[in-house]
Amino acid sequence: FCLWENNYTECAPCHSLVQCPVCTKAYRTDDLIVQCTICDRWLHGSCEHILSEDSTLSTPGDFICSLCRPT
């Protein structure tokens, strides 16, 4: 499973290290980012309603992003 970005020059997981796929904003140094276990993309924690690192430790390895979750 792979999606492509930047005119097919970057895979979605690599592109997500630069820009959040949910809000399409670039990351800042102090942003909390989380990785989906299904699509391997990185997202702002705040876009996924994760506001602290403590929240990410409660379910290590089990995070499924809003782009992969069934509606």
- Note the pLDDT tens digit of each residue in 11-69: 777 778 889 999 999 999 999 999 999 888 899 999 999 888 776 555 556 889 999 98
Contacts of 52 (CB under 8 A, 6+ apart): 32, 45
Distance CA 2, CA 24 (A): 18
* φ, ψ for residue 44, nearest 5 deg: -60, 135
Q: What is the pLDDT of residues 2-17, one digit of tens each?
A: 666 666 667 777 778 8
Indicate the SS3 state at residue 56. Answer: helix
Distance CA 21, CA 41 (A): 8
pTM over 0.85: no
Residue 35 bridge partners (DSSP): 42
